Amino acid sequence: MKIYFTFTGFIEMPKLLDYMEKNYTFWKDSEARGIVNSRDIERDRKEHILRNRRPREKTRKLIAVDEEETKRRRS
């Protein structure tokens, strides 16, 4: 964060300073989660995708067929 304050002291480029601050915050938060390089980011992204994956179309169709059969049996 020292570099941020150094830059704010002698340049007037708010957009650049905003990017620097966001980048610093991103890496600080990432480091707290154990992510310290781009390989860790990629692994974290893949794990996130796997955790939040939606069922594939074929699986959705099977679920719909199963629900229809369940309704028919209950009727």
The reported pLDDT for the residue numbered 57 is 61
What is the DSSP secondary structure assignment for residue 52, as one 8-state letter? T
When computed from its CA atoms, the radius of gyration of the chain, rounded to whole angstroms, is 24
The reported pLDDT for the residue numbered 3 is 63
Max alpha carbon distance in the chain (Å)? 77
Q: What is the mean pLDDT of residues 29-58?
A: 80
Number of domains in the chain: 1
The closest of 51, 46, 3, 38 to 24, measured between CA atoms, is: 3
Domain span at residue 6 reads 2-74
How confident is residue 62, by pLDDT bands cut at 50, 70 and 90? low
Higher pLDDT, 2 or 28: 28
